[in-house]
C-alpha cells in the first residue's frame, strides 16, 4: 500500500492532467470531428458532431477521475 502522504499529490497530478487534456480537446475539436465523419459530410452533420464532442470528452474524463479515486481492496 502506498504511503498516505503520496496519494494526495498523485491524485492532484492526475486531476490536473485530466483538466489540461479536457481544455486541449475542447479547444481543438476540428480533427476528431472530421475523423468521425464520412468523407462526404454536410455542414449540418459537422455541426451536430461538433456539439457532441465536449460533453463526451467531459463525461469520459469525469468517469476516469471518479473510478481512479475509488479505494481498491488488496
Give the tens place of pLDDT for each residue, 37-68. Answer: 899 999 999 988 888 877 777 777 778 777 77
Comparing CA positions, the residue from 37, 55, 53 lying closest to residue 45 is 37
Alpha-carbon gap, residue 18 to 58, rounded angstroms = 9
Comparing CA positions, the residue from 31, 30, 17, 27 lying closest to residue 61 is 17
Give the tens place of pLDDT for each residue, 15-36. Answer: 788 788 777 877 777 887 888 8
Amino acid at each position: 500500500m502506498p504511503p498516505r502522504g503520496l496519494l494526495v499529490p498523485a491524485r492532484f497530478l492526475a486531476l490536473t492532467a485530466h483538466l489540461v487534456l479536457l481544455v486541449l480537446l475542447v479547444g481543438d475539436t476540428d480533427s476528431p470531428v472530421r475523423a468521425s465523419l464520412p468523407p462526404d459530410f454536410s455542414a449540418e452533420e459537422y455541426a451536430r458532431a461538433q456539439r457532441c464532442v465536449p460533453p463526451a470528452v467531459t463525461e469520459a474524463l469525469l468517469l476516469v477521475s471518479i473510478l481512479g479515486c475509488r479505494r481498491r481492496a488488496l
